[in-house]
Structure 1
Amino acid sequence: MLLCRVLSRPRLPLVHLHRSLSVRSFIQPRRLIKFAVGTTLLTGTGFISYTIYESGPEIEKIRRTSYFWSRMIPVYLHYRYQQLYFKLFPAKSPEEEDEIWNKLHNKYCDYVLNVILHQRGVYIKLGQIASTRPDIIPKPYLKKFAQLQDGVPAQPGEYAREMIEQAFNKPLEEIFSEFNPKAVGAATIGQAHEARLKGSNKAVIIKIQYPEVQRLFGLDFSTLKKFVRLAQPEHAPLFDEFEKAFQIEFDFRREARALDIIGRNIMPRFPNIVIPRPTPGMATEFVIVMEKLDGTKLIDALKIEQARMAAEQGKTLEEFEQEMMAKYLSGELHREAKKRYTPSAFIVNVYASLIRTINRLKNVYIYIYNHSIVPLLKRFPLEYNEERVFINPHEIIDLLNEVHAQEILLDGIFNADPHPGNIFLLKNGKIGLIDFGQVQEFSLSHRLKLAKLIVLLAEGTKEEIVQQYISMGVVTRHMNP
């Protein structure tokens, strides 16, 4: 009966059906506008629904999630399109493909850096880590992300004052005789200010944590991990490890304990290493006060030396850095170092002592001249030669390796975040180590296994290395050596 009814229904003429499905009818303005509006509303509703699901009801979380996805999805799509294009239409040569990729990197490196600076928090931390990996990060991104080592915008001085007074329940003037409202540095989770303790007048550094970073930590990492699974799924396990490591940074009382323990472990054994001492009783969850180190960041001192070397070769600093980076990535720098004579640490120290002695003798002459000839003959005084701190690369690298080996293998407590921005070259020639927010501890059994693994990597067979990895609990997807 039902079949009879269906068959007996009048059929639409094929002409009408053809008209309803024709391209011309589809692209009529009214239908096109309806289609565009409907698609936009459907996409927008889906995006908003996902953002609310991902972020929860808080407006700030919704804003951060939507900002990230709306900025980074177009970047991802452009890179994915270029990747698929090369699969379908390969470039004529590897050089041509590299040139196209470099244009894409140069187009988006500033854009991505601005996204990181806008989001702050863990985004900046991961950008700092990326800036130290020339082996996997494209050069344009590497150069831009290097700004994150020391170029993070800070919060205003009033924000710092409020945080300090809230932490210690006292007016700022009752704690410090001097306070610099301008931050001397800003990093992932907070910023630092110079001050002097009231009474002793001792120069100190005050580190202040941004409370909102901890509040938004889980959301930001969840967003980043989803993006990594979409864009670079092979790096997802690495981000899980980053998440575990960063969670321990949010309590400055833990950092004060680490500074005290590692300082007592390291400084007696290594007289050329200085670790700032925490001020007793002045560490809370969000604020810590510690000894101030008088010096400059090692990376800044190296840039000054690089500028001198570039000037001697008639190049700009940027040209010199690009040339050195290209040589490093190609392995040419390593080959040149083997061929050339490189002075030992002892020779560099002797040369530095000689130059310092000459400069001091010159300053003695200038002092006599300025206090005798100048007043008598009304001459212009001479400027004194500044005390120059020489950088001895061999000694610094060997020293840092020994210090971290001591921390990891012997003491069992070590700084897990020793990036270049955390190493200072002090005015007395010593090396200062700062920022002990990410500190890890290894048990004796784990240290013994790690030491055995290092020996096997140098002298053992492949099978022995694999077995040692397995004994340490390393698990891969297929457990295939």
Structure 2
Amino acid sequence: MFKIRIRHTKRFQEIMNVFLRNGFSHFLFRLGLTDRGSSNDSGNKMNMQDAGVKLRHALQELGPTFIKLGQIASSRRDLVPEEIAMELEKLQDHVTSVPFSRIREIVVDELEAPLENIFTSFDENPLATASIGQVHIAHLPSGEKVAVKVQRPDIRPNVETDLAILSDLARFLEDNTDWAKTYHLHEMIIEFSRSLQDELDYRVEGRNSERIAKQFEENPSIHIPSVHWDLSTDKVLTMDLVHGVKVNDLEKLDAGGYDRKLIARRIVDSMFHQILDEGFFHGDPHPGNIYILPENVVSYLDFGMVGRLDNDLKYHFASLLLDLREGNTEDMIDTFSAMGILSDDTDMQAFTRDVDDLQTRYYDVSLSEVSLGAIFVELFQVAYRHHIIIPSEISILGKAILTLEGLIAKLDPELSIMKAIEPFGRKLMRDRYHPKHLIENSWKDFVENIEILTNLPKDLKAIATTIRKGKLQLDINVQQVQVFLRRLDRISNRLSFSIILLSFSILMVGLIIGSAIAGQTNMLWQFPIIEAGSIIATLMFLFLIYTIIRSGRM
């Protein structure tokens, strides 16, 4: 039986009962969450698809926290089997609307004024409802129409209770199961908690909206509705109302004379600008969050979920795509290693074989024939087979691109997302190798190395003390020996090459100084030694710089 302390026993029992009703008794028993009497063999006979359907029903019944958890899990194909992920994608926020009397109370309490003093009209019927909040149309005294998003009453304490239970469960499972420990389940729940708590604070969504709006200040073809901060709090968000056509309403788009191909191109370019140029992007670009305005202007809504890619992740993402296209398995493995996602337990031989199979399918294939979404799915499946945890930022990116690709296929079936992304990827690679960027990175590395050298005496003293006390431990993983030796071989070769280059340069400088003092030219068998040596030294230097840059580490 489950032996850890649960802070919210009643809610925990509700959760257990929902999973038991949906046929997960055997699974819960194997995890140690229920006793043998609650278990039956029906869960043993479920295939993955049946399990996915039952899991979706259970999460739907449990409410907002678990619906959000399922939606995020659907994007983690590196952790969740494909059949279950596909079912979890169907999770929707099917909830009844909150009575207007309660909505009025929340708006009045948050904005600290009677509703009639703030808005000249406020539609009692919601424009849209979701598990966290609902949207109403209202008019400001200026006559302007706005969309007012109001959080559902008492949702925060309910979500916080669920998150506390999930945190306790994750700790228990990490202590008692290998798979939870391997996947750092508790860290994942902490990350999920932060994300959901951000969604509960509408001010975060407002700031996300403004940050993306700044990315398109000079681009009139992209529209982001403005936030009315004087009428917004953590539970109420007031934004300009968008008057347009939903992007997947093809009949209305055609009837209105919109250019579907142009719209598709603008959506793709604007998304990859967010992803690869800015590193901050809309994390959920489904059709309900994209509207088309007159003149084929694209308007993005709802910035509760956003993705972030730092410069290294952007570079790694672009590198993987380009290496995949060029059939370079070794560089792909190096990129995965540089991302820090290969664990000590990874079977490098089997992993390399799977990556090689993956790149073989896409090597030298026309970009118009390649699905970027399919590449993500296959990469995640390889990661799942080898227990490799993909960074959550990349999983959000994968989900966004899968959603985007489905939408673009309806707007313009001839537009290849893979082809559209290539110029952004190559530009990113060029920018990374720009002299200014290389100098900045070299300076950062130089400063870091100075700090390391400064602390070296202390570190050596600490090591010596540890050795004297007999507490020095060595952890050698045989599976990683080949990878380690290969990297060590590269390092030693590069050091040897650098020493040879230095020695050769010293020799050439000696010859130049000697010839200058003697006032004679250096000729050996009618061969100009200095001129030839200078050319060789220059070529060696350029080759060394090229190999360092190619490795991606300055």
Same fold at TM > 0.5: yes
Contact 2:60–2:91 under 8 Å retained in 1:
no
Matched with 1:157 is 100
Q: CA deviation at 1:446?
A: 4.3
1:248 and 2:178 aligned: no
The whole-number CA distance in structure 2 between the counterparts of 1:458 and 1:241 is 33
The whole-number CA distance in structure 2 between the counterparts of 1:438 and 1:253 is 13
Which of 137, 156, 169 is residue 214 of structure 1 equivalent to? 156
Q: Give the TM-score, by structure 1 length.
A: 0.56
Matched with 1:136 is 82
Q: CA deviation at 1:176?
A: 0.7
The whole-number CA distance in structure 1 between the counterparts of 2:113 and 2:139 is 16
Contact 2:147–2:238 under 8 Å retained in 1:
yes
1:214 and 1:296, CA in 2 relative to 1: closer, same or farther beyond 3 A?
Answer: farther
The whole-number CA distance in structure 2 between the counterparts of 1:442 and 1:133 is 17
Contact 2:266–2:298 under 8 Å retained in 1:
no
The one-letter code of the counterpart of 1:176 is F
Q: CA deviation at 1:127?
A: 4.5
| CA RMSD, 1 decimal | 4.0
The one-letter code of the counterpart of 2:279 is G
1:276 and 2:228 aligned: no
Which of 180, 187, 206 is residue 123 of structure 2 equivalent to? 180
The whole-number CA distance in structure 1 between the counterparts of 2:203 and 2:52 is 41
Matched with 1:263 is 213
Which of 132, 141, 144 is residue 189 of structure 1 equivalent to? 132
Matched with 1:314 is none
The whole-number CA distance in structure 1 between the counterparts of 2:322 and 2:236 is 42
1:222 and 1:473, CA in 2 relative to 1: closer, same or farther beyond 3 A?
Answer: farther
Which of 263, 274, 279 is residue 407 of structure 1 equivalent to? 274
Matches within 5 A, 1:458-477: 458-459=325-326, 461-476=328-343
Contact 1:423–1:434 under 8 Å retained in 2:
yes
The whole-number CA distance in structure 1 between the counterparts of 2:344 and 2:158 is 31
The one-letter code of the counterpart of 1:447 is K
Q: Secondary structure at the match of 2:239?
A: strand
The one-letter code of the counterpart of 1:160 is I
Q: Secondary structure at the match of 2:24?
A: helix
Q: Secondary structure at the match of 2:242?
A: coil
The one-letter code of the counterpart of 1:148 is Q
- Superposed CA offset, 1:1-31 (max 9, x none): xxxxxxxxxxxxxxxxxxxxxxxxxxxxxxx
Q: Secondary structure at the match of 1:281?
A: helix
Which of 92, 96, 108 is residue 148 of structure 1 equivalent to? 92
Matched with 2:62 is 119
1:257 and 1:215, CA in 2 relative to 1: closer, same or farther beyond 3 A?
Answer: same
Matched with 1:293 is 242
Q: CA deviation at 1:279?
A: 1.5
The one-letter code of the counterpart of 1:207 is K
Matched with 1:333 is none
The whole-number CA distance in structure 1 between the counterparts of 2:201 and 2:114 is 23
- Superposed CA offset, 1:292-311 (max 9, x none): 11135435x26x79xxxxxx
The whole-number CA distance in structure 2 between the counterparts of 1:139 and 1:128 is 9
The whole-number CA distance in structure 2 between the counterparts of 1:152 and 1:420 is 19
Q: CA deviation at 1:434?
A: 0.9
- Superposed CA offset, 1:364-416 (max 9, x none): xxxxxxxxxxxxxxxxxxxxxxx546583x55544333222111221232222
Matched with 1:76 is 24
The whole-number CA distance in structure 2 between the counterparts of 1:424 and 1:291 is 13
Q: CA deviation at 1:420?
A: 3.8
Which consecutive residues of structure 2, in runs of 5 or more, have no partner in the other structure? Answer: 28-39, 349-554
Contact 1:249–1:437 under 8 Å retained in 2:
yes
1:148 and 1:104, CA in 2 relative to 1: closer, same or farther beyond 3 A?
Answer: closer
Q: CA deviation at 1:206?
A: 0.8
Q: Secondary structure at the match of 1:407?
A: helix
The one-letter code of the counterpart of 1:68 is I
The whole-number CA distance in structure 2 between the counterparts of 1:138 and 1:469 is 26
Matched with 1:452 is 319
The whole-number CA distance in structure 2 between the counterparts of 1:240 and 1:456 is 34
Q: Secondary structure at the match of 1:216?
A: helix
The one-letter code of the counterpart of 2:82 is I
The whole-number CA distance in structure 1 between the counterparts of 2:333 and 2:302 is 34
Matched with 1:317 is none
Q: CA deviation at 1:129?
A: 5.0
Q: Percent identity?
A: 25
The whole-number CA distance in structure 1 between the counterparts of 2:269 and 2:205 is 22
1:67 and 1:131, CA in 2 relative to 1: closer, same or farther beyond 3 A?
Answer: same
Q: CA deviation at 1:83?
A: 6.1
Q: CA deviation at 1:171?
A: 0.8
Contact 1:131–1:137 under 8 Å retained in 2:
no
Q: CA deviation at 1:180?
A: 0.9
Q: Give the TM-score, by structure 2 length.
A: 0.49
1:413 and 1:467, CA in 2 relative to 1: closer, same or farther beyond 3 A?
Answer: same
Q: CA deviation at 1:462?
A: 2.4
The one-letter code of the counterpart of 2:154 is E
Matched with 1:433 is 300
Contact 1:132–1:419 under 8 Å retained in 2:
no
Q: CA deviation at 1:70?
A: 0.4
The whole-number CA distance in structure 1 between the counterparts of 2:342 and 2:315 is 19
Which consecutive residues of structure 1, in runs of 5 or more, have no partner in the other structure? Answer: 1-45, 87-97, 306-348, 353-386
The whole-number CA distance in structure 1 between the counterparts of 2:90 and 2:245 is 17
1:215 and 1:467, CA in 2 relative to 1: closer, same or farther beyond 3 A?
Answer: farther
Q: Secondary structure at the match of 1:465?
A: helix
Q: CA deviation at 1:105?
A: 7.0
1:235 and 1:429, CA in 2 relative to 1: closer, same or farther beyond 3 A?
Answer: farther
Q: CA deviation at 1:191?
A: 1.5
Q: Secondary structure at the match of 2:230?
A: strand
